[in-house]
Amino acid sequence: MKDGFRLFCKLFAVTIRAFSFQPAIMGKKKPSKTPDNTIARNKSARFEYFIEETLEVGIALEGWEVKALRAKKVQINESYVFVKNGELWLSGVHITPLTSASTHIKPDPTRIRKLLAHRHEIDRITGLVERKGYTLIALSMYWSRGRAKVSIGIAKGKKLRDKRATQKDRDWSRDKARMLKSR
């Protein structure tokens, strides 16, 4: 009697394992629990500049701009940050207004927008830009706790030979990964 029960348990366990690891279920991706908060990314920034340091700052927006950001209608590829009168300003960002925008306002897609940061951060950045020749560029724009944030990078420009070296390193790491994968 005990042998029959053991045999039944083994068969039952094998059956459960067979049904729980179906290939159709294993191939599907699970939906991520956290949504992607990234609005826009400046992909060319890391290729064009050496990023020394990054900093998260807020951005002052109008109502139609917030709606356009939620729809991800923004381009920050040619944007840069400058310091004027002790304040940070973001220029070169193009926020495309939605077609359903209000008719009583005239949206300006390329207006200069104010960045919000602490005074000590602005003073430190000002010193780096004026004395050491760094430049400030927008790296990405994202949502953080319901507020739009901009990640700015304190950067130095790359020469052509530096860009070639970066491309060569990237190609080598890709080839290395392929070789290790094929083993």
Write the Ramachandran bin of 167: left for phi over 0, alpha for psi from -120 to 50, otherwise beta.
Answer: alpha
The residue written with tokens 């709606």 in the block is 67
Residue 112 lies in a domain: yes
**Residue 181 within any structural domain of the chain:** no
Give the model's pLDDT for residue 40. Answer: 87
What pLDDT is recorded for position 89? 93
| Cα gap 109→94, rounded to integer Å | 5
Comparison of pLDDT for 171 and 105, the residue scoring more: 171
Paired with 135 in beta bridges are 155
% of the chain residues with pLDDT over 90: 19
User: What's the pTM value of the predicted model, to 2 decimals?
Assistant: 0.67
3-state secondary structure labels for all residues of 76-99: CCCCEEEEECCEEEEECCEECCCC
What is the per-residue DSSP string for 105-125? Answer: S---TT--EEEE--HHHHHHH
* CA 33/CA 30 separation, integer angstroms: 9
22: in domain: no
Query: pLDDT tens across 162-176, in order?
Result: 778 888 888 889 988
pLDDT value, residue 25: 52
Residue 19 placed within a domain:
no
Tokens of 100: 């359903």
70 in any annotated domain: yes
**How many domains would you assign to the chain?**
1
- 31 within a domain of the structure (yes/no): no
CA distance 176 to 68: 41
CATH of the domain at 159: 2.40.280.10
Share of the chain above pLDDT 70, in %: 80
The pLDDT-based confidence of 90 (bands split at 50, 70, 90) is very high
| Residue 71 falls inside a structural domain | yes
Residue 152 maps to a domain: yes
For residue 83, how many other CB atoms are within 10 A of its CB?
18
